[in-house]
Structures are given as C-alpha cells and as structure tokens.
C-alpha cells in the first residue's frame, strides 16, 4: 500500500524565505548598479564591488533555497520509500523467522503431548490388563466386545444407516425380519454406495431343511420353505427399487450345506448367533467380535468368505414371482 505523503512545512517555509532573500539581494544589486551608473554618486570601487557581492550572496541564497525545496518535495519521498522498503523487508524476514520458530515450537509441544498421552494410555492399559483375571484377558484377545441375550434388529438398523461406502454381510438359513431392514438396505445402496452380501439356505436342499425343522418347535419343513420363499420375494422387491447403476451392489447367494452359526457383519464387526436346539438363531445368545487383529473376528470372516465362495448366486434379474419359480436354479 502506498504510504501517505508527508512534508516538513517548516523546512519548506525557511527554504522559500531563503529564495525570497536571495531574490531580494539580486534585485538590490541590480538597483545599486543601475543607480550608480545613472547618478555616478558612489565611489567607482564601491559601485563595482557592492553590487557584485550582493548579487553573489543573492544567487547563493537562491540556489540554497531552491535545492532545499527540491529536496523536500522530491528527494524526501524517494528516501522515505526506500527506507520503508528496507524496514518492511527487515520486518518480513523477522516475522517469517518468528512464525517459523513458533511453528517448530508448537510442533515440538504437540509431539511431546502426544508422546506423553500415548505413554499414559499404554501404562493405564497395562495396569488394567495386569489387574484382570486371565479369563478376561483371553476374552479381550479373542476380540469379544459384547454379548447379547438375543438379536436386536433395531440396533442393526442403526448400524446400516451409518454405513458409507462399506459392506453389510448376512449369513442365515433365512431372515425372519428382513422386512424391518429392507428400506435401510435400499437407502444404503442407492445413496451411500454400500454393498450388501446375503447368503441364504438353498431351498432346493430339502434334506438340510428337514433336519433343521426337526430341531425347532412350531416349524416344519414347509414353514422354512415358506420363509425362504418370502425372502426371495422381498429381495426381488428390494432389487427392483434400486437404481439401475446400483443393482449389482445387492448380491444374494444360496449355500447347500448346513451352517453352524448365523452372521451379521459390518465394518470390522461380526455378530454371531448360534443354531441351538428349539431356538431360532436370533432368539439365542449373540456374540459380537471386533478387530482384524483378533482371532475370533478373523475366524468368523474366514467362515463367511468360505461359504460365500462356495455358494451359488441367485439370479435376481430373471426372478419371477409365479408358481413356476418356487426354487431358483442353482
């Protein structure tokens, strides 16, 4: 930004006074010289010397005053600008040096605080682990983070709502409460770029279905087939409501063998249910495992991946809701 011009008006006034004085002396010298020639009243030596002396003094005053005014109006601004530039450069260098020093000191302080915090957390963790009985340490090392009396489908709804650019995985013989989460599945695929993998019991494997029905109360073979049929219709309905470019994000497969556990997977978590006698998998104890570094989580992930890899895809594109398609091709 251009600096405001400032002048030393006292110096200017004095300089103008000197100029006027110089002009006065010059005029007097001219007058004396002219008058002496006209009247021939002064001594010749005086009439020659005095005008010249006054003229010389007047010219000197005139030059001095003119130089002073010129310096004040022109040179002062140039000198001021040059001085300001030098001072500004010095200021910028010192400012940069101070900021750099402050940044380095701040960085050192943050690193020191982080190190102290990590040491404190490590020390607290070690103290807690040392104080815990071995059985609790084993549970923690396995990756078990929670246990539930039964499956809470409402909590799973909330988990699906939070997913973004992630996978949600289901491994079950059939899904009794699929209707509760179907809108969440559609929203996760259409608006948050999620992928849904669902592995169900193959309805064509009647022997497996018959054995499972024998372990349940109030469920016969036809009841399980009806549940699977209902899941097929629900999944086809979900698929139809997906955007065309998102339909492939819903993947459904059928497994042929009996599975020992049901799984709900999201992020680095799996909720495992057990196929107990006289109970649906969601009605019994649910174990939540977390963390890719823990062996229970990794075991459940490998279990899902292996069954998924050996399962046959359900052809959602050609699925038709009619009596001729009770059992899709596998």
Q: Report yes or no on 114 lying in a domain.
A: no
Cβ atoms of residues 325 and 319 within 8 Å: yes
> Which of 69-83, 118-132, 223-237, 274-288 holds the top average pLDDT?
223-237
- Could you say which of 109, 128, 153 is where a domain stops? 109
Write the pLDDT tens digit of every residue in 95-124: 788 788 788 888 888 888 888 888 877 777
Mean pLDDT of the chain: 80
Domain holding 251: CATH number? 3.30.870.10
Q: Where are the alpha helices (DSSP H) in the chain?
A: 9-39, 44-70, 76-131, 134-142, 153-162, 178-192, 206-214, 221-240, 295-309
Task: Please indicate, yes or no, whether residues 162 and 76 belong to a single structural domain of this protein.
Answer: no
- Could you say which of 89, 109, 129 is where a domain stops? 109
Q: Report yes or no on 102 lying in a domain.
A: yes
Write the pLDDT tens digit of every residue in 46-98: 556 666 777 777 777 777 777 776 666 666 666 667 777 887 888 788 778 87
Task: Please indicate, yes or no, whether residues 102 and 197 belong to a single structural domain of this protein.
Answer: no
Buried b (16+ CB within 10 A) or exposed e, 216-232: beebeeeebbebbbebb
Task: Please indicate, yes or no, whether residues 161 and 205 belong to a single structural domain of this protein.
Answer: yes
Task: Please indicate, yes or no, whether residues 157 and 297 belong to a single structural domain of this protein.
Answer: yes
Task: Please indicate, yes or no, whether residues 151 and 15 belong to a single structural domain of this protein.
Answer: no
Write the pLDDT tens digit of every residue in 240-249: 999 999 999 9
Tokens 């097929």, residue located = 232
The dihedrals phi and psi of 317, each to the nearest 5 degrees, come to -65, -35
Please give the Cα distance from 188 to 158 (Å, whole number): 11
Task: Please indicate, yes or no, whether residues 289 and 212 belong to a single structural domain of this protein.
Answer: yes
Is the per-residue pLDDT at 151 higher than 90?
Answer: no
Task: Please indicate, yes or no, whether residues 44 and 105 belong to a single structural domain of this protein.
Answer: yes
Q: Report yes or no on 119 lying in a domain.
A: no
Task: Please indicate, yes or no, whether residues 172 and 292 belong to a single structural domain of this protein.
Answer: yes
Cβ atoms of residues 284 and 151 within 8 Å: no
Task: Please indicate, yes or no, whether residues 306 and 172 belong to a single structural domain of this protein.
Answer: yes
Task: Please indicate, yes or no, whether residues 74 and 190 belong to a single structural domain of this protein.
Answer: no
Overall number of domains in the chain: 2
Task: Please indicate, yes or no, whether residues 172 and 303 belong to a single structural domain of this protein.
Answer: yes
Q: Report yes or no on 216 lying in a domain.
A: yes
Q: Report yes or no on 127 lying in a domain.
A: no
Q: Report yes or no on 117 lying in a domain.
A: no
Task: Please indicate, yes or no, whether residues 309 and 165 belong to a single structural domain of this protein.
Answer: yes
Question: What's residue 27's pLDDT?
Answer: 77
Which structural domain, as residue segments, surrounds residue 191?
143-325
């Amino acid at each position: 930004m251009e600096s405001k011009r400032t002048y030393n008006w006292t110096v200017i006034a004095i300089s103008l006074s000197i100029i006027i004085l110089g002009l006065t002396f010059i005029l007097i010298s001219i007058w004396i010289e002219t008058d002496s020639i006209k009247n021939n009243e002064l001594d010749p030596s005086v009439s020659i010397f005095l005008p010249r002396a006054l003229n010389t003094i007047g010219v000197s005053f005139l030059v001095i005053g003119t130089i002073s005014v010129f310096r004040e109006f022109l040179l002062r601004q140039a000198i001021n600008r040059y001085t300001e530039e030098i001072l500004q450069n010095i200021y910028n260098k010192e400012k940069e040096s101070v900021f750099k020093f402050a940044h380095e000191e701040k960085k050192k302080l943050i690193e020191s605080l982080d190190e102290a915090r990590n040491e404190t957390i490590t020390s607290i963790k070690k103290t807690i682990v040392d104080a815990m009985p071995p059985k609790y340490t084993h549970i923690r090392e396995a990756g078990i983070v929670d246990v539930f009396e039964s499956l809470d489908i409402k909590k799973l709804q909330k988990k699906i709502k939070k997913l973004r650019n992630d996978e949600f995985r289901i491994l079950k013989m059939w899904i009794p409460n699929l209707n509760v989460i179907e809108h969440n599945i559609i929203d996760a695929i259409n608006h948050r770029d999620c992928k849904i993998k669902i592995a169900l019991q193959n309805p064509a494997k009647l022997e497996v279905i018959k054995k499972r029905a024998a372990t349940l109360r109030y469920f016969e073979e036809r009841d399980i087939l009806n549940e699977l049929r209902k899941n097929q219709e629900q999944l086809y309905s979900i698929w139809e409501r997906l955007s065309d470019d998102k339909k492939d994000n819903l993947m459904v497969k059928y497994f042929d063998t009996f599975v020992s556990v049901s799984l709900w997977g999201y992020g680095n978590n799996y909720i495992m249910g057990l196929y107990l006698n006289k109970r649906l998998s969601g009605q019994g104890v649910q174990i939540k495992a977390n963390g890719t570094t823990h062996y229970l989580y990794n075991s459940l992930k490998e279990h899902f991946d292996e069954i998924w890899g050996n399962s046959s895809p359900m052809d959602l594109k050609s699925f038709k809701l009619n009596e001729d398609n009770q059992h899709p091709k596998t």
